[in-house]
Structure 1
Amino acid sequence: MKKISLLTLLTIALFTVISCKKETTNNNETTTEQEAVAPVEGQRIVSLNGAVTEIIAALGHESELVGVDVTSAYPESVKTTAKDLGHVRSLSVETIMELQPTLILGTSTDIGPELAEKLKTAGIETQIYTQEISPAGTKKLIEEVANTLNNDNYKSLQDKIDTDLAKVQNLETKPKVLFIYARGANMLMVSGTNTPVDKVITLAGATNAVTGFEEYKPLTPEALLQGNPDIILMFDSGVGSLGGPQGVFKLPGMDKTNAGKNKKIIIMDGALLSGFGPRLGEAAVQLNSQLAENAK
């Protein structure tokens, strides 16, 4: 009886070990499946506007960014920590959803009605701001983004804009500045009025060489001659696409302008010059300083 009892106990013990092992394996498999579909802890932000991205980072939430659009070039670290989603105009909701965002931020200028509706249908919290291209508009945008993030430490960002703008020096003569947007020799546009660059030119104490139209139009020799700018203003990426400043001064009609004759060109970072984010004051001061230098 003792032998039978011992054998029975060994059999039960072995069965128990196998059952427990199997149960543990099944539990592990279940846990793995649950982890794959479980809600992601913490805030996961997708920003679809360069200025909004700058504000998020400046407020201390950069680590929460999981995806950004192509205009989000500052701070540079964003491109290594968050996925570059490319241009908003060619962005699909599916691509955004792959990042499992909990919050999507952007502006009405970038996010069109169709994309906005799809994001709403997807059920992800989305905030679309109306960005006014002015110092007051930028300060308002900073406050709105901060409120969305439940962050009340935004006043210093607003104050810095005013502090920086106060450093803009008066220019004895307001130079005429022509901004050229370039993506190679076959893609050349000039800025009329009511563009971000036009506004920064004014904040920096100069005047736009082109005032006959709003937004952008293709660059022509006639437009160059009519505007006759004293200084050419361009993004560093645009100048690079033309092979450097020498390529800019070889554009048809450029040699007949004051800027072309005197080889006057100012090259600035695109995100800084046109972003109208927290560094707006810095952009105006930098342009103003270079304008003063070119006037000598």
Structure 2
Amino acid sequence: MQNYRLKYGLLVLVLLINSLPARVFAAKELRIVSANGTLSEILVGLGLEKQIVGVDVTSTYPASLDKVPKIGHNRTIAAEGIITLNPDVIIYTDQSMISPMVIRQLKSSGKKVVEFRHEYSKEGAIKLIREVGAYFNAKPQAEKLVRTLQSDLARIPPVTSSKKLLFIYARGTGTLMVSGTGTSLDKMFGLAGYKNAVQDFSDFKPLTSESLIVANPDVLVLFSSGLESLEGMEGLLKVPGVAQTNAGRNKKVVSMDGQFLTGFGPRLGKAVIELAQKVK
């Protein structure tokens, strides 16, 4: 009788355990929406890719993120599209340029919304990785990413050059924009050891032939997609003023993947090295 009661008790205990929700025994896996390509890259590096249920269109690395539902691009992001993904948390950076109204709508819907500060520097990239790792309880994985980044940064070749670089943002032959001081491009040029050809304004401004000739860059830098939208080198040379610059005369144009060039995340060191090599 005693053995019977023991076996019966064990059976009841097993049935009870099996009926309990999984979160009683393990932390619930968060459903994450990332509105920033660098944050998405960090999440993947932390081993959290399976928990990502939505990303913005700048989340292009790694390529596996192409399969994740897209929520749009900074100012075009709508709260409704994010809410339908039923996320537990939405993350973005202070550089993401999401509408404050959208942020308010997300918060009022009861969703957890977290902003990370993203500074365009070596220290800023490391800090961002560590803060994301800490928030998602993945500090060891974050430190592994940091060590790899620090190793890459240590391999950046010392460059002392007077070459002037100018970044042109292009989406077809419509309004073209140039990058001034304080932008991610400006900071990348500095890390690679070069000067920004534009020093008299910050942020981005429309390109004019007159200002382009005055700046007279030695090298033009574009996103790969931007150069393609102009139909390559020949199309770029047709932009008023380009052919009259040192870069235009020497056909010195560098194109790189946009997220790689401006992400300031885990691949920052690799991006600086590639930029420096292409500018030589």
TM range (shorter): 0.7 to 0.9
- Provide the residue aligned with 1:267 in structure 2: 255
Match of 2:84 among 78, 85, 98: 98
Is residue 135–residue 161 contact of structure 1 (8 Å, CA) maintained in 2? no
Which residue, 170, 192, 215 being the options, matches 1:182? Answer: 170
CA distance in 2 between counterparts of 1:200 and 1:262 reads: 22
The TM-score, its normalising length taken from structure 1, stands at: 0.82
Q: Deviations over 1:182-202 (max 9, x none)?
A: 011112101110000110011
What residue ranges of structure 1 are gaps of 5+ in the alignment? Answer: 1-40
2:41 match = 54
| Contact preservation (8 Å) 2:83, 2:106 | no
For residue 211 of structure 2, what is the amino acid of its counterpart?
A
Measure the CA separation in 1 of the matches of 2:263 and 2:160. 27
Matched, 1:232 2:202: no
The answer to whether 1:248 aligns with 2:233 is no
Provide the aligned C-alpha RMSD in A. 1.3
Which of residues 197, 200, 203 is equivalent to 2:185?
197
Residues 179 and 204 in structure 2, CA contact (< 8 A), matched pair in contact too: yes
Partner of residue 94, structure 2: 108
Count of paired positions: 251
| 1:10-29 correspondence runs (5 A) | none
CA contact (8 A) 1:235 1:269 kept: yes
1:172 is displaced (CA, Å) by 4.7
Residues 159 and 192 in structure 2, CA contact (< 8 A), matched pair in contact too: no
> So what's the TM-score if we normalise by structure 2?
0.86
Among all aligned residue pairs of Structure 1 and Structure 2, give the percentage whose two residues are the same amino acid.
44
Q: Is the 8 A contact 1:160 1:281 kept in 2?
A: no
Larger radius of gyration: 1
Q: Which amino acid aligns with 1:150?
A: N
SS at match of 1:179: strand
- Which residue number in structure 1 is paired with residue 25 of structure 2? none
Task: Describe the SS at the equivalent of 1:248.
Answer: helix
> Per-residue deviation at 1:171?
3.0
Q: Deviations over 1:126-146 (max 9, x none)?
A: 211121111111111111111
